[in-house]
Amino acid sequence: MLAYFKTTQDQRSNWSRDLYYRKRLTAQFTGQEMGTLKRADVRRYIEQRRSDGLSNATVNREVGLLSSAINYARKEWDWEIPNPAERMRLSEGDGRKRFATVAEIAALIQAAEKRKRAPYLANLIRVAVNTACRRGELLGLRWTQVDLDACTLKLEGKDTKNGKPRIVPLNVQAPTRC
């Protein structure tokens, strides 16, 4: 599994998150050959992680990473092994049922403005709230991607979750001169 991570680290969109998941998977499965892995082993892992208090979504991401590593070995390295992690997903529910209110956002911005060590945090929050951009999209922005005349941000495919480039409009509430 470590060879999979080394080979694909430049291709995966969220390497730091994968690193966290990898540590958990490695702790559980070190010493066990991938070809000997059974569904019961994966089921035990799932039960252990759930008893640790993790959400179904987090457990699904971890098991999905294990499944990806096995599938990669099967397809790219021609390993003839089963994938016991395949289709072992827990129900994740309906997702978010609540969004921040205007008052909560205002309180967050007001608290950020008091942070002397992070002078740009309040404006970053304003842009995030008014564009719905993800943290990684905003933190990865370069000035060449900001067009203040057209009031847009140009996100490149390598910076977006789905890998597709997109143009994001800046509205009058975003801290710009738009």
Judgement on whether residues 68 and 8 belong to the same structural domain of the protein? yes
Q: Decide if 139 is inside a domain.
A: yes
Judgement on whether residues 70 and 129 belong to the same structural domain of the protein? no
Instruction: Transcribe the chain into DSSP letters.
Output: -HHHHHHHTTT-S-HHHHHHHHHHHHHHHTT--GGG--HHHHHHHHHHHHHTT--HHHHHHHHHHHHHHHHHHHHHS------TTTT-PPP-TT-------HHHHHHHHHHHHT-TT-TTHHHHHHHHHHH---HHHHHT--GGGEETTTTEEEE-GGGSTTS--EEEE--TTSSS--
Task: Please report the pLDDT score of residue 76 as a whole number.
Answer: 92
Task: Please report the pLDDT score of residue 156 as a whole number.
Answer: 92
Task: Please report the pLDDT score of residue 33 as a whole number.
Answer: 86
Please give the tally of structural domains in the chain. 2
Judgement on whether residues 60 and 112 belong to the same structural domain of the protein? no
Judgement on whether residues 109 and 151 belong to the same structural domain of the protein? yes
Judgement on whether residues 65 and 17 belong to the same structural domain of the protein? yes
Judgement on whether residues 14 and 67 belong to the same structural domain of the protein? yes
Point out the domain boundary residue: 13, 41, 76: 76
Task: Please report the pLDDT score of residue 176 as a whole number.
Answer: 62
Judgement on whether residues 153 and 109 belong to the same structural domain of the protein? yes
Q: Decide if 97 is inside a domain.
A: no
Point out the domain boundary residue: 76, 94, 128: 76
Judgement on whether residues 106 and 163 belong to the same structural domain of the protein? yes
Interatomic CA distance for residues 50 and 28, integer angstroms: 14
Q: Decide if 69 is inside a domain.
A: yes
* pTM, to two decimals: 0.61
The parts of the chain modelled with pLDDT lower than 50 are none
Judgement on whether residues 120 and 63 belong to the same structural domain of the protein? no
Q: Decide if 95 is inside a domain.
A: no
Nearest to 36 by CA among 75, 76, 79: 79
Judgement on whether residues 72 and 13 belong to the same structural domain of the protein? yes
Q: Decide if 84 is inside a domain.
A: no
Task: Please report the pLDDT score of residue 16 as a whole number.
Answer: 72
Task: Please report the pLDDT score of residue 174 as a whole number.
Answer: 72
Quote the domain boundaries for residue 40. 2-76
